[in-house]
A = this chain, B = another copy of it.
Amino acid sequence: MLSEFDLIKRYFAQHSIQDSRIALGIGDDCALLNPSPGMQMAISSDMLVSGRHFFPDADPYKLGHKCLAVNLSDLAAMGAAPLGFTLALSLPEANQDWLAEFSRGLLALADEHHCHLIGGDTTKGPLNICITIFGELPPGTALRRDAAKVGDDIWVSGTLGDARLALAGYWNEVTLSESDHQLAATRMHQPSPRIALGMALRGIAHAALDISDGLAGDLGHILEKSAVGASLFIDQLPAGPVLQTQPQELRRQFTLNGGDDYELCFTAPASNRQHVIAAAAKSHTAVTRIGQIEANAGLRLVDEDGKPVKLQYKSFDHFVNP
């Protein structure tokens, strides 16, 4: 049986860190960081539970990717540059095949974003993965949820709804071809954190967040924190490539309420439209203008002709939803 220390050494401590900001990595009571002088630190924690956030038999490589991706996405939503993360892992058993694949998926994404694994904890127990991530950004540049202003455009990166469509496929809510289902499932299992876009939007966007529980619900947090309202152009919401082939009703529902896309939703003054488009180009990320911040509280949906659309929108809540 592999011991706790062997496990960490073998699977997670293998890549050497070449970053002067990491003074000490895995292996002591604490890791030691030297924050860049004058920079602010952004910190976020996400806990993923088997059977709730992922299927118990999930591909461990993709799972490793996703666990870090959702945390990187929180940094992206703040406009922060990744620095490092800790990993706490509760495992039913020290399954070496699983660990090898999980750590490979995790560290591949970590390397891609120059985000170093600096510490953590392992224990025996029901499968649970908790990552705390650290990033940096110049003070005053964070894209906060409370910073939306009346008149701001509302934007979204990439496309929405394919992750939710993949889930609908698993649940037999819809019938998808095998290849369509696989394509949609990639969005669900291997989201792309929009780090480059988030950083490029510093000083251009006002408010931002990442869409984990659905656009309508998540945008609602910006509206609440900023004490504003919004109109959304329901038929401007960029549906994922697979969802685009589905009927309008499903497109509207899944672009508006589907979770797990990890795209950025952000607001920016109308005068910054060209800067937003330049930031998107610079970060090789598509963006779509999908609405407007208004003084009138609440979220209104309008169709292509500017007519109000009645559509239920709700967000996922871990303690209210089943």
Contact = CB atoms under 8 A, between A and B. Distances in A.
Nearest to A123: B318
User: In this complex, which of A2, A44, A94 has the most chain B Cβ atoms within 10 angstroms of its Cβ?
Assistant: A44
Interface in A66-107: 74-75, 77-78, 80, 86-91, 93-94
Interface string A178-202: 0000000000000000000000000
Interface string A280-322: 0000000000000000000000000000000000000111100
Interface stretch (A45-53, A234-242, A247-255, A269-277): A45-53
A43 interface: yes
A121 interface: yes
Interface string A99-118: 00000000000000000001
A7 B208 CA distance: 23
A206 interface: no
A318 B124 contact: yes
A4 interface: yes
A225 interface: yes
A321 to B, nearest CB: 9
B80 A30 contact: yes
Contacts of A28: 78, 144-146, 209, 225
A258 interface: no
Given A7-B319, A37-B37, A78-B28, A123 B52 contact: yes
A138 B305 CA distance: 62
